[in-house]
Amino acid sequence: MALYPLPLAMASYALGVALLLTIPLVSDSHTMAIVNLIGLAAIGAIGLNILTGYTGQVSLGHGAFMMVGAYTAAILSARYGMPFWVGLPAGGAVAAAVGTFFGIPSLRIKGLYLAIATLAAQFIIEWCINHIPWISGGVQSTIYVPTPAFLGWEINTEYRRYFMILPVFMLAYVAAQNLVRSRVGRAFIAIRDRDVAAEIIGVDVFKYKLLAFAVSSFYAGVAGALWTYYLKIANYEHFILSTSISYLAMVIIGGLGSVLGSVFGATFITLLPIVLVYVVEGIASLFGFTYFAIADFLANLRLIIFGGLIILFLAIEPEGLYRMWGNIKRYFRFWPFSY
């Protein structure tokens, strides 16, 4: 509660929760699926933002850590019959262990070098999961997972999946907000801003760098495990290098060093291809093309727009959507004066 000291902030927080709870009342199954995808992405993006935005350590291996969580959950559920509320934290824990291991190079290197080291983590983890039959489960590295159930309720519709994802998301969000304003979070920020100075004022840089990797990959693992329960399948193709890049794009477009920004970024990047399909389809149908005729064109256009937006955002608003949101809020607070 102390997180939102002002009555207005409390009210907006309550409003946010109320909005999240009303979504299923007003949307159809298709919309729910999109909302669920956003929720899944947001959990992963918050995790990466703790590492990259708050601690300043670039990671190109986030997808791989999600993959670890996904396969952990899948193995536990499919082979050992564990319920999903065991697989979820277990996925997070195993991913955290693996992530911390790959964070060890960060003690000696940073910046560009760390980006490349985490790139290596992405390839090494992907290769291991693909080439160890016990993990990958044989054919095409795919593990099928039984429908998760909670207290006898099969989680088999988009509405029910929403209520599987929503509590995890809210927990992840509040936990991250609390973390970053605690002693630990301030240590992260100190390391990001100037690691040498952080050490001088008594921050144990070794410990906190690894901790950032652990927390971030725990989030990634939980997100990956949720993906598995959501799709009822674990497959490495959902967590390849381009996934890692997407998550990095989410935190950058959303706003580095902002938990709410991660949610904005996740929403933006998830919605982008969907909106693009509608727009291009609409334009194409004006000229009498069918969807299949433009499918290839659309895939390429998606890449170009995605890449172009990243470049554009960094050139125009490097602080991302969160900053834009802040600008809008400020505008209304000071209206009718500009400042």
Q: Among residues 49 and 77, whose Cβ is nearest to another protein?
A: 49
Q: Among residues 21 and 314, whose Cβ is nearest to another protein?
A: 314
* 307 part of the interface to another protein, by CB under 8 A: yes
**Selected binder of another protein within 297, 327, 329, 334 (CB under 8 A):** 297
Tokens describing residue 73: 């959950």
* 112 part of the interface to another protein, by CB under 8 A: yes
Q: How far is CA 290 from the centre of its chain?
A: 34
Q: C-beta of 257: minimal distance to another protein in Å?
A: 11
Q: Among residues 9 and 116, whose Cβ is nearest to another protein?
A: 116
Q: C-beta of 119: minimal distance to another protein in Å?
A: 6
User: Which of 14-22, 162-170, 171-179, 300-308 is the region at the interface with another protein (rule: CB under 8 A)?
Assistant: 300-308
* 115 part of the interface to another protein, by CB under 8 A: yes
Nearest Cα neighbor of 182 from 243, 280, 259 is 259
Tokens describing residue 105: 């190079």
* 127 part of the interface to another protein, by CB under 8 A: yes
Q: Among residues 113 and 334, whose Cβ is nearest to another protein?
A: 113
Phi, psi of 110 (to 5 degrees): -155, 180
* 232 part of the interface to another protein, by CB under 8 A: no
* 284 part of the interface to another protein, by CB under 8 A: no
**Selected binder of another protein within 130, 142, 177, 178 (CB under 8 A):** 130
* 256 part of the interface to another protein, by CB under 8 A: yes
Beta-strand pair 142-144/233-235: antiparallel
Neighbours of 144 (CB within 10 A): 13
Q: Among residues 97 and 119, whose Cβ is nearest to another protein?
A: 119
* 14 part of the interface to another protein, by CB under 8 A: no
- C-alpha 329/C-alpha 9 separation (Å) is 13
Helices in 287-319 by DSSP H: which ranges? 291-316
Where does residue 255 fall: left (phi above 0), alpha (psi -120 to 50 degrees), or beta otherwise? Answer: left
How open is the CA angle 329-183-218, to the nearest 5 degrees? 85
Residues 6 or more apart in contact with residue 253 via CB below 8 angstroms:
264, 265, 268, 269, 309, 310, 313, 320, 321
Q: Is 229 in contact with 149 (CB distance < 8 Å)? A: no
**Selected binder of another protein within 21, 283, 303, 328 (CB under 8 A):** 303
Q: C-beta of 18: minimal distance to another protein in Å?
A: 35
The DSSP code sequence of 174-202 is HHHHHHHTSHHHHHHHHHHH-HHHHHHTT
Judged by the rule CB under 8 A, the positions of this chain that interact with another protein are 52, 56, 58, 104-105, 107-113, 115-117, 119-120, 123-124, 127, 130-131, 195-196, 199, 205, 209, 245, 248-249, 252, 256, 296-297, 299-304, 306-311, 314-315, 318
